[in-house]
Amino acid sequence: MAQESSKFTDNPNVEHRRAPRRLGVLTSGGDAPGMNAAIRAVVRTSYLRNIDVIGIRRGYNGLIHGDLFKMGPNDVNGIITKGGTMLYTARSPEFQTRQGIERAADTCNFHGLDALVVIGGDGSFRGAMELTDVLAEMGSTLSVVGIPGSIDNDIACTNYTIGFDSAANTCIQAIDKLQDTMQSHERCSVVEVMGHKTGHLAVYVGIAVGATVILAPEKEFDFEQQVLENLRSAKILGREHSIVIVAEGVGKTQEIAERIHKELGMDTRVTILGHVQRGGSPTARDRVMASRMGEHAVELLCAGRKNRLVVTQDGAVVDIDIAEGTAMTKSLQPEMYRTARVLSLS
């Protein structure tokens, strides 16, 4: 279970005995709008706490290859409005090898890093734990805190991941536009959204655009009942056009569209939203959540906490042990899925 946040002091000028001296910050895995706001919060909070911040470029690749630079508050001016990540990001196959982790550990030692904030997904957090293990074997200590960043909202221990809200809004804007043209031609629009192996984004977006069908990889579906029958009912109810949302993890989006055309004679069009979903200026929700999480991460380290993940529970920013958090698995929120089903049936 997540724990309430540590009792931080209210006075930001108080220097903490256990505060780190040199904190590294990196973004890893797929970028997500709001990551910049989290970086900014880490840098600004650290500055107030007299902690040196070292930016690490390109995720763990930056640690392996020594691509580091000192960051001050001015380096993060204006980035809160920007999508992407100013630190760049990568999925690092090299860091999945023992040799790669050892090289990253050497870099931590060389630069005197005693804390690391990792903004990314489950895989990035597991990588951070392996790094601390290797450093421990070398006799060094690195306090790690993870901040969940992913448009997929697929990290089990947190209700919310940075970037989800922006991506959902990007999808909604695009699909609203599609609805105009689909309505004019009385067509059926089959839209694939991201989400990796999960359907959190698909279900959320599907509800928001009033989709007739929502398909998520976590839920097996009967094509006749859940796709064809829903589309037939929508037609009988007088809907001029329909939206079918397919999570990328379901796959076969083109085949689904072709089968709808074949079985119902509907004119279908496929739209794969793709990487557009990952870009754009973050929404207010992502900016604020990322800012709160970034500040919380540094305050945890100042309080002497290590190996924690910053998470949200019912809107509150709290934290959980990193090993416990990454071992959890996430299923679709039943109430969300129920709403999606109920509304698409009517």
Q: Which residues sit at the interface with ligand F6P, rule CB under 6 A?
A: 30, 150-152, 194-196, 248, 278
Instruction: Name the minimum Å distance from CB 330 to ligand F6P.
Output: 14
* Shortest Å distance, C-beta 19 to ligand F6P: 32
Q: Where are the beta strands (DSSP E) in the chain?
A: 22-27, 52-56, 68-71, 115-120, 143-148, 188-193, 213-215, 242-247, 268-272, 308-313, 316-321
E strands within 28-174?
Answer: 52-56, 68-71, 115-120, 143-148
Q: Which is nearer to ligand F6P, 248 or 299 (CB)?
A: 248
If the CB atoms of residues 85 and 132 are measured against ligand F6P, the closer one turns out to be 85
The CA distance from 286 to 87, in Å, is 18
- In the annotation, is 152 catalytic? yes
Closest CB 197 distance from ligand F6P, rounded Å? 8
For 299-326, give one letter per residue: b (16+ CB within 10 A) or e.
bbbbbebbbbbbbbeeeebbbbbbeebb
**What is the H or E stretch that residue 161 is in?**
none
Residue among 153 and 226 whose Cβ is closer to ligand F6P:
153
Based on CB atoms, which residue is closest to ligand F6P, 107 or 150? Answer: 150
Q: Which residues contact 194 (CB under 8 A, 6 or more apart)?
A: 151, 152, 167, 201, 247, 248, 273, 274, 277, 278
In order of 21, 127, 313, 345, the CA distances from 102 in angstroms are: 22, 12, 35, 55
Hey, what amino acid is at 195? G
Q: Which of 171, 178, 235 is nearest to 208 (CA)?
A: 171
Nearest approach in angstroms of CB 30 to ligand F6P is 3
Say which of 52, 114, 122, 152 is annotated catalytic.
152
Q: Which is nearer to ligand F6P, 19 or 147 (CB)?
A: 147
Tokens of 5: 């946040």
Q: Cβ of residue 335: shortest distance to ligand F6P, in angstroms?
A: 23
Question: Among all residues, which ones are annotated catalytic?
Answer: 152
